[in-house]
Amino acid sequence: MATELNREKRRDISREYFSRERLAEHHYRSFNSFLNRGMQRVVDEKETIDTDIGDKEGEEPVHVELGDVRVVTPRVREADGSEELLYPQEARLRNITYSAPVFMEMSIVKGEEGDQRVVDSTETKIGRMPVMVGSDKCNIAGFSDQELIDIGEDPADPGGYFIVNGSERVLMTSEDLAPNKILAEYDTKYGDEIQVAKTFSQRRGYRALVLCERTRDGLLEVSFPSVSGSINFVTLVRALGLESDEEIVHKVSNDPEVVKYMLENLEEAEVQSEEQAIEELGKRVASGQGKNYQLKRANYVIDRYLLPHLHEDGVEEEDVRINKAHYLCRMAEACFELALDRRESDDKDHYANKRLKVSGDLMKDLFRTALNKLARDVKYQLERANMRNRQLSVNTVVRSDVLTERLEHPIATGNWVGGRSGVSQLVDRTDFMGVLSHLRRLRSPLSRSQPHFEARDLHATQWGRICPSETPEGPNCGLVKNFAQAMELSQNVEDEQGLKRELASMGVEGIPGLEGIERTTSPADD
Amino acid sequence: MDDGNTNSTCTECDGQLRSNGTETVCEECGLVSDENAIDHGPEWRSFEDDETDRRRTGAPLTRSRHDRGLSTEIGYGSGSRLTGRKRRQLARMRREHNRARISSKVERNQVYGFTEIKRLITELSLPDSARDQACTLFKSAQSEDLLRGRSLEGFAAATVYAICRTLSMARTLSEIVAVSRADESELKAAYDALNRELGLPTGPIDPTQYLPRYASKLDLDTDIEQCAREHVETLLDNCAIGGRNPSGVAAACLYVAANDCPDCDSITQASAGDVADVNPVTIRSTVHQLEEC
């Protein structure tokens, strides 16, 4: 059955996989998609910068609207003021950063809602973005071998790294647990075994862990950020709009055993209606506060902190809540099935439960925090300028070094946002193979000082993806891995709405009664 | 380390000696000519992905911060996150600490001035040393009480302008005004005060300082810039620059150089004037002057 390829052909395929374009391809692809879409998406998420101007009486409110963002190719500005294109080799030799100016359209808008006018609108330089060697925005993109040699570049160099202050830094691909997936597993609490369903819900850089536990007396409890302790499952589901007993049971499962467990839960229910449930939740999230505030806070917490990945642009808040209720029911079902031995606990080391964060994803995280920092600075500068009765203009309120520093510093030191360290490493130039291996290396975020035997083991699902033998000896054994030769890294879909339409056209049904909306278990943000 | 042993050449091969940390080594043959038993460096080595940073010191002192970079900050710690009362207490302390950071009006103005200087410096892509000097100048202007009744933004811009001139990296007034929050009159008032009261070591601007910048703005080659440099020299030798705007002289020389060059697109007097922020008439008269020389 298996037709054996002859040796020559196999060699051709091997060679193709080891061509210059392929070796660090995952790095360029990821970084290019960050430059082409990711940056703009981060800016669009931010949308505006609000200021406190206008809080005083007789003052018109001011805010800044963010528009299109644009990156040019790397260039250097000399002390004498002349500006010219920068090539990687010059950046290495002169110990400067291989970075390109970033421009953004910004307009300062003054006035109340309905009577707004633009005070100043320009495209201004907001900072410099380190550019990956070999990416689309790199000055050597599309050069022939001879042209590369002429500017002092090695034609065989795979690229895929940054140059910051003259040193070549590669961003380590990190292997994280897949977000927005339900993982069911056993845990122990006070010496008893309990069942837990976990989801790392992630949207726009915000990550929230939602836990659904089945305690030893069979009651379901949910915990999520901003709520201390845990909340009764039935209360939360009712607060989300699933009111009747029948509905709740039906949504969890039709299995008679599970129904029995569910009925136990419903008997113990603290509340019967949506209003009562929200009140109850309000008491938990803002105890000791006024009743109105409690309700407001409860609604805010539900919409902001509970399963944020289910939010989607253009979907009603009402529908999102129902979706959240359904999602919680799936988590409950996972707990019960685990308790009934209908399923085994999920394997965290299975490669289906892993996602790789490549340079583009890491740069996106970095750009998001840098942009936030810039926005805070612009807000402060605007307020200062306004207080000193200065003309408000875009050019004078943007300090471009704010963004530049926030982008360069983490790449230079490896101290990434979110407290991770060692994310960027000096490219190993011991020999050519060293470089190749380094660019195709990936790292598990697990601590190397703990055993984590299962995480270090070779998992069957790594077949064809991860090299079974290349891993360091010593404390990092099994935590640092390397790509297999023929590994292909797939990217997240660009157009999620389109994907959903396509799925719907193929006969995938959403939750009944909610047309066109489905439970999303695919990453909402990557 | 080098006590008594002051000869800087190797005893064996007369090569250059170099000392690093503990040893004095010949660069040619590698002979260790002197050794200090005590290593004054750090007693640890740092590795790329070390989890903790074992450095004991922070960034060096700098003149470009109002507290010379010696600020304290109440951090967030590295261990488990605090909860409840303790966290709120720390948040309050942090806020009060931030308020107490700046004690006087003078200091507050200084902070504002320094951030403005920093912004100007990055906007003009000037080196960091210029920033330090501009900040020092700003501080001395403050201690001489020059700021009273004049604008902070004007002073920030004026210190940057002054430092550019003293460091021989001249920028025109209009270039500074374009990125500054001050208008030209504020900048001029502040610069006059600085120049008068502090006696800045500035002379007439050498037009060659403008050449590289204008050449890159006009998209001209380096050999044209070189040629323009020679034109400036000729003018200087003939003492024909007196009373002329150096920026205009630079632009005019570039104009002449570009037009003399056979294999490059010539530029117009208007475009040269635009870049240098002078009238085309100024360019024309300098061109005549150059032809006379």
ipTM: 0.71
Give the Cα separation of B258 and A1 in Å (integer). 74
Give the Cα separation of A324 and A26 in Å (integer). 34
- How do residues B124-183 score in pLDDT, each as one tens digit? 888 888 899 999 999 999 998 888 888 888 999 999 999 988 888 878 888 888 888 888
Q: pLDDT class for A3, splitting at 50, 70, 90? A: low
pTM: 0.82
| Helix, coil or strand: residue A303 | helix
pLDDT, mean over chain A: 85
Taking the Cβ of residue A384 and every Cβ of chain B, the question of whether any pair is shorter than 8 Å is answered with yes
Q: In sequence order, which residues have a C-beta less than 8 Å from that of residue A172 and are 6 or more positions away? A: A422, A423, A424, A425, A441, A442, A443
Name the residue with higher pLDDT: A253 or A463. A463
What are the b/e assignments for A301-338, b being 16+ CB within 10 Å?
A: bbeebbbbbbbbeeeeeebbbbbbbbbbbbbbbbbbbb
Per-residue confidence (pLDDT) for residue B240, from 0 to 100: 67
Per-residue confidence (pLDDT) for residue B83, from 0 to 100: 74
Chain B residues near any Cβ of chain A (below 8 Å): 48-51, 83, 112, 115, 118-119, 122-127, 152-153, 169, 171, 179-181, 209, 212-213, 215-217
| Helix, coil or strand: residue B203 | coil
Q: Mean pLDDT, to the nearest integer, of B9-17? A: 81
Per-residue confidence (pLDDT) for residue A438, from 0 to 100: 92
Question: How are beta strands A441-443 and A480-482 bridged, if at all?
Answer: antiparallel
| Helix, coil or strand: residue A94 | coil
- DSSP code per residue over A424-490: EEE---SSHHHHHHHHTEEE--S-TTS--HHHHSPPGGGTTTB-SS---SSTTTTTEEEB-TT----
CA distances in angstroms from A356 to A42, A43, A456, listed in the order given: 20, 23, 17
Q: pLDDT class for B78, splitting at 50, 70, 90? A: low
Distance from CA of B80 to the nearest CA of A (A): 13
Q: pLDDT class for B4, splitting at 50, 70, 90? A: very low
Per-residue confidence (pLDDT) for residue B49, from 0 to 100: 53
For chain B, give the percent of residues with pLDDT over 70: 89
Domains of chain B by start residue, with CATH = 6-35 (no CATH), 105-198 (1.10.472.10), 207-292 (1.10.472.10)
**Residue A518 pLDDT > 50:** no
Q: Name which of A399, A414, A426 is nearest B122 (Cβ-Cβ).
A: A399
CB contact under 8 A, B216 and A422: no
Per-residue confidence (pLDDT) for residue A327, from 0 to 100: 87
Per-residue confidence (pLDDT) for residue A524, from 0 to 100: 40
- How do residues A300-321 score in pLDDT, each as one tens digit? 888 888 888 888 776 777 778 8
Name the residue with higher pLDDT: A2 or B260. B260
Give the Cα separation of B271 and B265 in Å (integer). 13
Q: pLDDT class for A73, splitting at 50, 70, 90? A: very high
Q: Which of B53, B81, B125, B184 to mutate to test the interface with A (most CBs of A within 10 A)?
A: B125
Q: To which H or E segment does residue A67 belong?
A: strand A62-71
**Residue B290 pLDDT > 80:** no
Q: pLDDT class for A169, splitting at 50, 70, 90? A: very high
Give the Cα separation of A42 and A367 in Å (integer). 8
Distance from CA of A425 to the nearest CA of B (A): 7
Distance from CA of A401 to the nearest CA of B (A): 6
Per-residue confidence (pLDDT) for residue B135, from 0 to 100: 92
Q: In sequence order, which residues have a C-beta less than 8 Å from that of residue B42 and are 6 or more positions away? A: B54
- How do residues A131-142 score in pLDDT, each as one tens digit? 999 899 999 988
DSSP state of A34: I
Return the residue of B nearest to A412 by Cα: B48
Give the Cα separation of A172 and A200 in Å (integer). 22
Q: pLDDT class for A214, splitting at 50, 70, 90? A: confident
**Residue A410 pLDDT > 60:** yes
Distance from CA of A304 to the nearest CA of B (A): 20
The first and second tokens of residue B112, run together, are 């504002």
Task: Name beta bridge partners: B20.
Answer: B23
| Helix, coil or strand: residue A293 | helix
**Residue A387 pLDDT > 60:** yes
